[in-house]
Structure formats: structure tokens, C-alpha cells
Structure 1
Amino acid sequence: MVATVRRPGPGGVRRSETRTFATVTGRLEEMSDWLTTEQVTLVGMESTGVYWKPVYYVLEDHFPVWVINAEHLRNVPGRKTDVADSMWIAQLLE
């Protein structure tokens, strides 16, 4: 599971941080804690098969979560990795 947080940095430049988490409940809760610490106010995530559901269930009580259809992401050129997808989704939510 790859997550990216984007926020304002010095001089008005956007700063990004990307982290990878295992998909077991304890690690997903660590991700939720990190997002809370970073003062995230909206989460966007790709829906892939049934794999998105545990992530959603951990986050839904803490954040508004937008679930994005994976088919829509696959049709965007240049998005070939989980990291690239995560960074792009973070940009879309700004």
C-alpha cells in the first residue's frame, strides 16, 4: 500500500512525502496515524478488486475518503507504478 501526502512547503512550493505500508490492520492503522499527524483532511484511493476495502475500513472513521475507479487510472498515460499513481491522486485532491 503506497500513500502520498502533499502540503505547502517553503516559498509556496508543494512538498510531497510517499510511504509504503503493509496491508495488515496494524500497519494500516500506522498509516492512518501518519495521515492524522500530517493533518490530512481528504484521502483519495484507487479501488483495485477487493484489496481497497480493508484500507477504506481503517480510514473511513477518520477522514473523508474518495474511492477512484481503477479503470479510470489505467487510461491515464504515464501512470505505471503504485508510487506514480499515489502521487498523481494526491495532486488531484489539491
Structure 2
Amino acid sequence: MVKKDQDKNDIIDLIKNIINNHQLKNKNIYLGGFSSGGNVALLLSNYIVFTNSKIDLKGVFVVDSPIDLEKLYENAQKEIVKKVMKMH
């Protein structure tokens, strides 16, 4: 496993532990961040969704993050097409 993926898995495990230890419901979970933390939130939310990590992620928000929204939209569209093609 690539170290970056292991770091993401470690954070996912931490989130799961927080949910379990504090007896929280695993729904309506939002990730977010300010500035470069927003970029981290986007990367982690993408990883959570596409690895089926069993965290019911409701949404993600970023504040004042240096992101390319047009490229983000284009990539999201490509992923949607891939998922639809797999279904058929």
C-alpha cells in the first residue's frame, strides 16, 4: 500500500473510533477545512467515497482553499461516468 493511502486509512480509522467511542450515529458526517485544510478535506472525502470506507459522508466544505474548481468538476463528471459504465 502506498504511504499516502496508509495515511488516509489511518485518518479514516480515527474517524471511525471517534464515532464509536462517543456513540455517535454514522450519518450526516461532514468534513471541512480552511485554506490548505480544505484541500485535505477534499482529498480525504474523495478517498472515503471511492474506497467504500463505511463512513456515511454527507458532504464536504472548503473555505478559502486554493483549488481549481473547474478541474474538480471535470474529474467528478468522469468518475460518475465510470460508475455508470460499471453498472451496465
What's the TM-score, normalizing by structure 1?
A: 0.34
Choose 1 or 2 for highest CA Rg.
Answer: 2
Structure with more contact order per residue of length (Cα contacts < 8 Å, sep ≥ 6): 1
Give the number of the structure whose residues are more often strand, by fraction. Answer: 1
Give the number of the structure whose residues are more often helix, by fraction. Answer: 2
